[in-house]
Structure 1
């Protein structure tokens, strides 16, 4: 039995979409520490006023405010430094999500219907593709890559191993749960019982999978491999059914509160 470790695969908050644009880490950093810099500026302004008072009439004593401002300066510097790597990683993850979204939107040229951020009772489904080859519920896994490794994923059809680490099946269970959630939602919107293929996408990773993945309940792929996997899946829906299902789910999104 495979040992389990935790792989992060967090959906976005319901109803919130990642817009297809690049995210500046300087902008993220500014938003995170702007209140600290504002407080720091105020403290130094007060310290300056105190010194001006001291030069004029020798009261009040500016030393205490100056020491407080100096201490705050050290704190802000340490906080900024400690947050920097985290913010860079966050920027990269947001940009990867945006890149995947743009890539999937490009599949509309193949006649596919693509929706994003489908809210449900237990969280968001990142992306959904409707095609004559079936319905595909897609989750994007944010997993930090390292410069000193090959960033490879091994998938045996039941669990994944990242960079030669222990196999983990929790992310597979997560994808299966989301696909069942999407299946229930389609049934509620259309009354039809349609199978949903669960897909996990790992942006920036090389996926090595066994042949058994063809029969596995979940596909584990890099984003660029997805179109070929869909194309190689036998057709199971007519064009009218694809359009109807996508339209009904779009109406659900439009009315979701």
Structure 2
């Protein structure tokens, strides 16, 4: 689902720092909760796709605005002081040095956070798009969990299907400014894009997520095989895993086809029970 209303043009193609910063206004319209009349037990709500990265974007945008404020206020004050110095002389050199240093520090904070916001924005929209594709699998009896908290990390998505359990990580590649996006190649347990190794260790993260989900289920008496998956939206993926248990590196549109290739390993009752166990773990 694409955003509606006045922000549509900003969000239409790819995230920019302006579109990410505008997410902060969503919090102004959250409904109030009547704490005095709510039920004694309120279950923890499930997260929507990309919510974790969205919250990180908002926190980073606050830091960027703080840096901008540090840069702007001394600059405005400096202009005013310069105007006054025309009447009182230029003997306060130490004041000018302090203002310049403060302004430079604020600008550095702002630019650093702006760069981080761009990276978080790409991750946010990648998770949103992947989540929307995964939600369609529920028509085929799958259950989808969009966030699973680990010890110092989180699993982006978990899909429980008759074909098995799938721990899914999302990889948002940096877009090209011109031309068609470079394809991602998966060979010899490495990822390359345009012939250049990709930054980060997405394959290791995907395997770690699968091991974490598998251990959670073992702890509650379940022993399904958990398949690690890395989904890269808007990219052509070349190469296939060589060995069983290797990470599937796919475009989200191809993931349902790979599901259909696997023989059924779970019944519908198994799917529902496994989903409830993971939900209980989250709560």
**TM-score when normalising by structure 1:** 0.71
Find 2:273's aligned residue among 229, 238, 244.
Answer: 244
What is the aligned length?
234
1:122 & 1:34 partners in 2: Cα distance? 27
8 Å contact from structure 2 (residues 233, 251) kept in 1:
yes
Question: Which residue in the other structure is 2:209 paired with?
Answer: 178
Unaligned runs of 5+ in 1: 1-14
Question: Which residue in the other structure is 2:34 paired with?
Answer: none
Shift of 1:175: 2.5
Task: Establish whether residue 19 from structure 1 lines up as the match of residue 51 from structure 2.
Answer: yes
Deviations 1:139-173 (A, max 9, x none): 112432434674212224743333223599x6434
Shift of 1:39: 3.0
8 Å contact from structure 1 (residues 51, 62) kept in 2:
no
| SS of residue matched to 1:224 | helix
Find 1:235's aligned residue among 260, 264, 267.
Answer: 264
**TM-score when normalising by structure 2:** 0.66
Name the structure, 1 or 2, with higher relative contact order (CA <8 Å, separation 6+).
Answer: 1
1:177 & 1:71 partners in 2: Cα distance? 44
2:108 & 2:276 partners in 1: Cα distance? 51
Question: Which residue in the other structure is 1:144 paired with?
Answer: 174
Question: Which residue in the other structure is 2:186 paired with?
Answer: 155
8 Å contact from structure 1 (residues 116, 126) kept in 2:
yes
Question: Which residue in the other structure is 1:35 paired with?
Answer: 66
Closer, same or farther in 2 for the Cα pair 1:230/1:37, shift >3 Å?
same
| SS of residue matched to 1:136 | strand
Question: Which residue in the other structure is 1:11 paired with?
Answer: none
Question: Which residue in the other structure is 1:123 paired with?
Answer: 153
Higher mean alpha-carbon deviation, 197-206 vs 94-103, is at 94-103
- Counterparts of residues 56-205 of structure 1 (less than 5 Å): 58=88, 64-66=94-96, 68-70=98-100, 72-73=102-103, 76=106, 80=110, 84=114, 86-121=116-151, 123-147=153-177, 150-156=181-187, 158-165=189-196, 171-189=202-220, 191-205=221-235
8 Å contact from structure 1 (residues 133, 230) kept in 2:
yes
Closer, same or farther in 2 for the Cα pair 1:125/1:33, shift >3 Å?
closer
8 Å contact from structure 2 (residues 162, 266) kept in 1:
yes
2:188 & 2:72 partners in 1: Cα distance? 56
Shift of 1:29: 7.7
